Amino acid sequence: MGLESRAMLNCLTSVRCVLLAAGLLALAGCAGDAIQRKDGQPSGRAFVLNNLAKTDIDMVSELAQREVLAGLQRLTVKLYRRNPQEYRKAGHESVERAVAVIFDAVPRWHRAGLDRVDWAASLRQAFAEDHAGDRVHAFMLALTVMTMAAYDHRTEFYLTDKLSAQSLYNSARNFETAAWKLAQARSAAGTPLLLSNEMGEAEQNLSFEREFGKLIAQQDLLALIIEDKNNRAINRVIQNVASFILLPV
């Protein structure tokens, strides 16, 4: 190789390195635009090299999943605060400890065996009249496992991974069914099995309905994105929530 050719190659290599460094710095700088939440937690994620093996839709899927899991965690906290007798049934000393039993297991999902939980059975158990255990745990564990199943029990997605738009769509319909059941389920004496929304004259609390609305919207939006990516139409169904029929994910 001549001197001129070698010099040209060195120059091109230097340009590539500069462009790569500039790209990495630009991506890292995006963290400064993170949304600040009410609880003080930033929404942004630090750039990691693994992201180079992800498409934009992979990263959108991870972000959507993270938001849905955060919403489920908020719902769990709210339900335990409205129904403190439930976490005491399981011997937990606080709401935080009871919530951690479910969500601390997400990073070690497969090792904890949660991918094998029958979420539909757990959801029905939460509203069984004779269920003596922690109803909030049964309800929220079911919704968390169902959500993870819609994401193929993964928390990271790469070029070769493919999510099912149908599963995401079905999970949104299941959220609708679960929200209806939570609001309507009563004991033989007519009292709610789990307290959630409240529509009294003195006080109105529809925060549970709002949280479910966010979960449904997030799953539906991602389902549309994946449907467009895969060019496979979602089989849309009209779900009769009163029948408590759950769609497979």
Residue in 209, 242, 236 with CA at minimum distance from that of residue 223: 236
Number of C-alpha atoms within 13 angstroms, CB side, residue 116? 4
The rounded distance, in Å, linking the Cα atoms of 5 and 9 is: 6
CA-based nearest residue to 221, from 61, 43, 75: 61
* Contact in structure between 170 and 236 (CB atoms under 8 Å): no
As a whole number of angstroms, the distance between CA 177 and CA 38 comes to 29
pLDDT at 195: 96
pLDDT of residue 198: 80
Q: Are 221 and 67 in contact (CB under 8 A)?
A: no
Q: Using a cut of 0.85, tell me whether the model's pTM lies above it.
A: no
Q: How far is CA 174 from CA 99, 123, 240, 248, in A?
A: 21, 10, 10, 9
Q: What is the pLDDT of residue 206?
A: 87
Residues of the chain where predicted confidence (pLDDT) is lower than 70: 1-52, 200-203
